[in-house]
Amino acid sequence: MGVYVVTGSASGMGASVAARLTDDGHEVIGVDLADAAVIADLSTVEGRRGAVDALTERIDGPLHGAVFAAGIGPRRGRERMLAEVNCLGVVELATALRPRLAAARNAKVVVFGSNSSTATPLVPRAAIRRLLDGDAEAAARILRRRPGALSGPAAYAASKIAVARWARRQAVTEAWAGAGIRMNVISPGPVMTPLLQGQLANPRSPVRSFPVPIRESGRPDQLAEWVMTMLSPAADFMVGSVVTVDGGTEALLRPNDW
Ligand code: NAI
């Protein structure tokens, strides 16, 4: 049985994945703001450092997998927090855990992106570049210049584009693929969790008019099923892929992008 780290393990899709892994007999080290083995606030440098210290102290052997599901939804005014939690909260923890993952020889990593990465128009490229440089404040400054209601969705999309791009760039390198680690991105559409409920409660949220061809939201367990496959030997030949599971939105909006 393996050892797995799951961030965002206290709610939604992270909780669903953690439950599946535990049911299968694995040891799960959850990371979250509350109700987790490691309590940490991934929106601050100190919080991320504390999480890394606590995790490296707890994991004394190989780490068989990591699922980075902690995240917050779009909202104007939290451009920097979106950058820190959704992007740096993955990049910094994954980088720190890489040696333990390499020690497992065939570890799997799943990063939570979002289909808003491709569905959101006019995401400033400079903000994505700043995020990839690790500069959340510089990215947030650019994103705050977006007019009114656009800055929240743009900040969310920027955080998810940056984290997916980081994962794809790293996934193929000697340090990751060469060390037997298979890192991939899952890109959900609207899934009924507290995060989505929070978005739907805002009458001006663009997610309310998001077109979903199957006309229903996903369930956390449906996404957890895909994540379990991406953690299994079925993913041995899968590197840097972005798996979209979104009820058809991506295909509806971008049918000709393949
Ligand atoms: P959720 O709100 O149910 O769970 C997110 C978890 O992350 C919570 O337990 C929360 O406490 C934790 N978290 C938030 N901020 C944190 C911080 N500063 N430090 C540590 N933990 C923190 O959300 P859900 O929907 O399960 O989201 C999981 C992932 O899926 C997120 O990355 C989200 O962006 C992504 N996603 C969600 C979609 C949806 O419709 N629900 C759609 C596309 C992507």
Q: Residue 109's beta-bridge partner residues?
A: 66, 183
> Amino acid identity of 164?
A
Residue 206 has a pLDDT of: 84
Residues 131 and 158: beta-carbon distance below 8 Å = yes
The Å distance, Cα 85 to ligand 1 centre, comes to: 9
Parse the chain into domains and list their residue ranges.
26-253
Of 5, 163, 185, 195, the one to substitute when testing ligand 1's pocket (max ligand atoms within 8 A of C-beta) is 195
When pLDDT is cut at 50, 70 and 90, the band that residue 1 belongs to is: very high
Q: Which helix (H) or strand (E) holds 3?
A: strand 3-7
Mean pLDDT calculated for residue range 66-77:
96
For the stretch 134-176, pLDDT in tens is 999 999 999 999 877 788 999 999 999 999 999 999 999 999 9
Residue 146 has a pLDDT of: 84
What percent of the chain lies above the pLDDT cut of 70? 100
When pLDDT is cut at 50, 70 and 90, the band that residue 91 belongs to is: very high
Residue 209 has a pLDDT of: 86
Of 6, 7, 11, the one to substitute when testing ligand 1's pocket (max ligand atoms within 8 A of C-beta) is 11
* Cα 50 from Cα 98, distance rounded (Å): 17
Span 26-253: which CATH code? 3.40.50.720
Residue 150 has a pLDDT of: 83
Q: Angle between the 89-104 and 45-58 helix axes, to the nearest 10 degrees?
A: 20
pTM comes to 0.98
Mean pLDDT calculated for residue range 178-205:
96
For the stretch 20-65, pLDDT in tens is 999 999 999 999 999 999 999 999 999 999 999 999 999 999 999 9
Q: Is 156 a catalytic residue?
A: yes
Residues 244 and 250: beta-carbon distance below 8 Å = yes
Residue 77 has a pLDDT of: 92
Average pLDDT, the chain: 96
Active-site option among 4, 68, 112, 156? 156
Asked if residue 67 has pLDDT above 80, the reply is: yes
For residue 239, count CB atoms less than 10 angstroms from its CB and return exposed for 0-12, middle for 13-18, buried for 19 or more.
middle
